Amino acid sequence: MSSKPGWLPHLPSVRLDPWQLSHRLRGQRQQLPGSCVEDVESTVGVSVLQEGNAALHLAAKNGHSPAVWVLLTQWQEVNETNENGETPFFLAVEGGHEECSKVLLAAGSDINIPNKLSISALQTAARNGHASLVSFLLSENVDLHHKVEPKESPLHLAVINNHITVVNSLISAQHDIDVLNQRQQTPLHIAADLGNVELVETLLKAGCDLKVVDKHGKTALALAARSNHSLVVDMLIKAERYCAWREERGENVRDPPTSFTLTFKQDHSPETRHIRSLLWDLAYHQLKASEWQRQARSWHFTDAQIRAIEEQWAGEESFREHGHRALLIWLHGALVTQATPVKHLYEELVHAGFPELAAIAKSLPRPGSLAELPGDVPPQDDVWMFTAKKGSTLWNFKKVNPPIDTPSPSSTRLHSMHSSNSS
């Protein structure tokens, strides 16, 4: 037990009547902090009137640490439960009172005693988002996986209530990331159904099992698609393809990659702006209805993945958005698995029957590089956007529609946006 404060008076080890205790404390007021006697008196006066709570329960519930210290000196059973099966420690944790919790733990409280509903202190802290208390409980070797009938685990509760810090703490403590609740759903099922991008990203990077189905036979991907969370749908498909790639290489998907930073979120990086622009042009100006599915299957998208993309329907032109999303999902995998994604894109477009777009892709500079321009003027090739260099001048280009009165066999042309001297 932790050493008691210097102001704590000597009290008998036998249990006193609440009024006797209050009287004894008033006689020793000079030895106590100003509020301690009042704290004890405010609790002992109703010690057995509320849900079977004794004075120690009420002091813990209200976070009165000095009163808890005093009461512990004469309490016979620190793990005594009230009518709801709650110990003083449980009530301190439920109220978010970390100091009280530490005092009670030092006095011998059992941190793993659940209440009558089989809810543990860790589940309560995780549900309420008390991150520091969760860390404290984890440091004291709390039982991560309470042995009761399937219900919401601490990780489920943290996900449901969007407590990202608690989620990270539980994962770091080796909480089972694929634990099932009473609906046979993992925490990823919950996060996907809620459309929570940050939580889905955290769980995916932890290496959760994407193939688990709930009691209705639904994967996390199916739940996200049903709820029209397109960003999460795309993240889950990226993760499924990434895991398949690592499994083909005989690697453990839970081992973090060493050669790149893993993310499944939307790509907004400047390094891939050029190729993303090309993919947007391909999807919205070149692909026809049903062609993106053909391309997706050639890239080994599963039927379930294609259906999940198609489920977000916004009208007859939805195939353009669907194709664009499929292309960006492909790009995520290509950037991970290919040293030269632009070259790979060229080969894939030729193979899929898009030679004109393949030619554009071939002329596109590598992400993050500068193209050397031959001749004295910028090229008039049909490239969507890139940066190029001629001598000491940097040129930024974008594809624009030509004026209506300008005769041109091409539907688009390349204009220089601006130029500047390179230092």
The CA-CA-CA angle for residues 91, 92, 96, to 5°, reads 115
Q: Structure tokens of 103?
A: 């005092």
Q: Which residues of 52-71 are buried (b: 16+ CB within 10 A; e: fewer)?
A: ebbbbbbbbbbbbbbbbbbb
Residue 382 confidence (pLDDT): 39
Strands 413-421 and 393-400: antiparallel
pTM for this predicted structure: 0.76
Alpha-carbon span 217 to 229, nearest angstrom: 19
- Residue pair 273/241 in contact by the 8 Å Cβ criterion: no
Domain at 1-110: CATH code: 1.25.40.20
Domain extents in the chain: 1-110, 270-363, 371-421
pLDDT tens string 247-302? 998 988 888 887 778 999 999 999 888 888 888 988 898 888 888 998 899 899 99
The alpha carbon of 76 is separated from its chain's Cα centroid by a whole number of angstroms, namely 44
> Does 168 score more than 50 pLDDT?
yes
Average pLDDT over all residues of the chain: 78
CATH class of 270-363: mainly alpha
Query: What is the pLDDT at residue 195?
Result: 97
* Higher-scoring residue by pLDDT: 374, 145: 145
Kind of pairing between the strands at 371-372 and 385-390: parallel
Residues composing the chain: 423
Q: Helix, strand or coil for residue 347?
A: helix
Quick one: pLDDT band at residue 33, thresholds 50, 70, 90?
very low
Contact 272, 347 (CB under 8 A): no
Residue 412 pLDDT class (50, 70, 90 cuts): very low
What are 347-362's pLDDT values in tens digits?
A: 887 887 778 777 766 7
The pLDDT, as a whole number, for residue 416 is 32
Instruction: Write out the DSSP string of 150-219.
Output: S---HHHHHHHTT-HHHHHHHHHTT--TT---TTS--HHHHHHHHT-HHHHHHHHHTT--TT---TTS--
Residue 38 has a pLDDT of: 54
pLDDT of residue 61: 93
Q: Do the Cβ atoms of 386 and 333 come closer than 8 Å?
A: no
* Distance in angstroms (rounded) separating the CA atoms of residues 287 and 295: 10
pLDDT in tens, 203-240: 999 999 999 999 999 999 999 999 999 999 999 999 99
Q: What distance in Å separates the CA atoms of residue 201 and residue 231, rounded to the nearest whole number?
A: 11
Chain CA centroid to CA 262, Å: 14
Find the angle CA(209)-CA(215)-CA(217) to the nearest 5 degrees. Answer: 70
